[in-house]
Structure 1
Amino acid sequence: MDIKRIETGPRMSQAVVHGNTIYLAGQVGKVGDSVADQTRTCLEQVETLLKGLNSDPTRILQTTIWLADMADFAEMNEVWDAWVPQGHTPARACGEAKLAHPGLLVEFIVIAAVNSDRPGQDK
């Protein structure tokens, strides 16, 4: 089975497609924004990447969310709950972690299914 790497750099790829499964790199928001705004940015990026790979939020299988501070759990969940397609909620885990930059408050890691046997194309 082929492996397709999307937006590949020297350290990581933004996405990897193996068979009918899409693995997204951790998506983060803009340093200095609130956790709600960073969450919205993360989810917009997830949606854009999935769309480019013949998928969408209803096809998300699993989401891992890292918060810099679990005190932000309710604020992040308010944005998530408004975004995630009801009836298609994925398996999900959320924990606290020290993120790559002190101004980053949330990071989303997503695994999703493609809509067909044909993976999406590079942009």
Structure 2
Amino acid sequence: MQQEIKRYESNARMTRAVQFGDLVFIGGQTSDDEAADIRTQTAQVLSKVDKYLQMVGIDSTRILSAQVWLADIAADYDAMNEVWDEWVPEGHTPARATVQATLASPALRVEIAVVAAK
């Protein structure tokens, strides 16, 4: 018997979150306020991650891994981490990779994708 794949907020190009068995994949999230600074953009992105985790009935303590893309790692790494560190529950830090990348819009500073366990 095949396991069901549940998709949340799909369109013709992508799905924001996918659940397969006990795994939850949340696609790259970006800020809605492209004029905001890195701290604000990071907080908005993490809020979106929280929203999708809640949709499937879990929270950030269930995150297994995270991928973080920064438009300017030299300028934004420390400030992004300040927001990240406040958001991640103590004792529940996921495996994480952070790299510099050209994002979809020049005004975007950060994009984050996660994999979590249901």
TM-score by length of 1: 0.91
The DSSP-based 3-state class of the residue aligned with 2:108 is coil
Structure 1: gaps (5+ residues): 115-123
- Detail structure 1 runs of 4+ shifted over 2 Å in the superposition: none
1:24 maps to 26
Partner amino acid, structure 1, of 2:72: D
2:41 is the counterpart of 1:38:
yes
1:74 maps to 78
Residue 51 (structure 1) shift: 0.7
Deviations 1:57-108 (A, max 9, x none): 0000000000000121000000000110010100000000000000000000
1:15 maps to 17
Percent of residue pairs identical = 46
Partner amino acid, structure 2, of 1:86: E
- Give the whole-Å Cα distance in 2 for the aligned partners of 1:10 and 1:35: 30
Partner amino acid, structure 2, of 1:5: R
Partner amino acid, structure 1, of 2:94: P
The DSSP-based 3-state class of the residue aligned with 2:12 is coil
- Give the whole-Å Cα distance in 2 for the aligned partners of 1:13 and 1:40: 21
2:10 is the counterpart of 1:4:
no
- Give the whole-Å Cα distance in 2 for the aligned partners of 1:49 and 1:3: 15
Residue 109 (structure 1) shift: 0.4
TM-score by length of 2: 0.95
2:102 is the counterpart of 1:98:
yes
Structure 2: gaps (5+ residues): none
CA RMSD of aligned residues (A): 0.6
